[in-house]
Amino acid sequence: MMTIKVSTPKLAYVCSGLQAAKKFSINTIDWNYPMEIITLNHEPNGPSSFKDALVINMYNYFKGSEPQKDKIEHPIEQEGLTYIQEPNKPVYRYYHNGRYIKYQRFTASGELAVIDYFNENRQRFKREEYDSSGYVHSLMYMDLETNKPKQHLYLRADGTCYMTKWYKNDGTTEKIVIFDEKENIVNVSCSENELSYFFLSRLINKTKYLFLTSENEIYTTLKSLSVKYSSMYLGFIETNEMLDSPEKEIDHLDAFVVPSLKRYHDTVQKAGPRTNIYYVSDEPFTRKRFADKLIDQVPFNNQLKNMDVELLTSEWQSKSDLYLSAKVEFKGDISAHSVGRHKMYWKLKNQKSGTESIFNANVSSEEALMFTVSGTLRVHSVLDQLSTIELYLCCEWDNRFFASSVRVNDPKEIPSLERSISGWQITLAEENNHLRVHTAEGFRRKLMKRLFVKK
């Protein structure tokens, strides 16, 4: 059985919020693995769980646990105030001695949602937002000229502030400050992305997750985190959003899931062979189980850079079978968990027609990042056009792909013997310091061409 990096890894599906589309995406995948859902939007009435998954909301995380709250009722009628209801809407405008002082909006089920407060010039200076239990969860102080929030306070049920945001005149975030229960400053951020980065960093330090997302902006944040935390897993699920150039992002991803078989083949064609590309149909009830396989195949972020292949021996075993052995050396570093997670194979490619054949590479010795490999290559498998046939050794190692032609240090190792296969004359030779098979038309092939030439 393959060793997993951590004893109990968890999947974490990260999204801005649990909208209907996200619920559908989660619902139609048979994850078959422990998972938690991480949301980044402020959702005071959001669920604490969905299906069998725990929902971790960023704002609830910083707010901390709270005791059970008794529900507060907010009557429409208020002593000393008169009001007017908007026709057929749960919206009320309140007056005191003829002056408009506040606006209240209720939900369809009768719960208070919002109160806006107005000064003597009918300018809105404050807004309170209420949760489903009747407590203020959000308090905004407004810019009197633009009628937009100038400062936004996020509150616990007891009224203490756990986060405050300051906004610039153009509405962009200027500063975000997080407080603990004793009003000590925990963190200061200058943007929403910095806030998300800080939050996800805390989660990474607490639990080893495989982070999955289908949102480009969140993927960008997760990708920047993966640079800092080499132990972090990262995946992207394409739904309505797509990465601009997935073939360029593959090396950063442990899992790239596409809902289209065509997109799957297009991505493989552009990015080369990868074990981290998955096709999972987005049709209801047809998504295949892939989480177990994903966990088994997840890379351990090795830092390999290149592969060098040096010829040891080469000999013809028959007219068409070429035996090769070579010394292989990798540059870079790998973690202990990545040892042994490599797959090597020989590849023959007809330079003119593009025809390819793949053969198993047997590893006879392994020491650190140095290997001795061998294999028998059937040259006739690519002889469909007169051409030079290139020899490569390929390696897939934790979703990193390497391909290197065989380097020749001692030309005397190369046999000068020519072979004839079905009218082809083939010669093993050195070209530009690398091993190549050159083909030429033999006598039999030339004769057959002359016999069948049209008069």
| One pLDDT digit (tens) per residue for the chain, 455 residues | 222 233 345 678 888 988 766 776 666 555 556 678 899 999 998 888 887 778 999 999 999 988 888 999 999 999 999 999 999 999 999 999 999 999 999 999 999 999 999 999 999 999 999 999 999 999 999 999 999 999 999 999 999 999 999 999 888 999 999 999 989 999 999 999 999 999 999 888 877 666 778 888 899 998 888 888 766 778 888 776 788 888 888 888 878 888 788 888 888 888 887 778 887 766 544 444 555 556 555 555 567 888 999 999 999 888 889 999 999 999 988 866 577 778 899 999 999 998 999 999 999 888 889 999 999 999 989 988 888 999 999 998 876 789 999 999 887 777 777 788 877 888 888 888 899 998 888 655 555 555 655 54
Find tokens 């177990």 and name the residue: 292
Give the Cα separation of 218 and 196 in Å (integer).
9
Structure tokens at 295: 């966990």
Give the Cα separation of 348 and 357 in Å (integer).
5
Q: Is the dihedral of CA 249, 253, 259, 260 positive or negative?
A: positive
Give me the amino acid identity at 403. A
Q: What angle do CA 430, 431, 435 make, to 5 degrees?
A: 50
Give the Cα separation of 272 and 293 in Å (integer).
20
Q: How far is CA 236 from the centre of its chain?
A: 3
Structure tokens at 453: 């030439």
The CA R_g of the chain, rounded to the nearest whole Å, is 33
Overall size of the chain counted in residues: 455
Give the Cα separation of 166 and 123 in Å (integer).
20
95, 81 contact by CB (below 8 A)? yes
Query: Burial code of 153-174, b = ≥16 C-beta within 10 A, e = fewer?
Result: bbbebeeeebbbbebeeeeebe
Give the Cα separation of 283 and 22 in Å (integer).
14
Give me the amino acid identity at 146. T
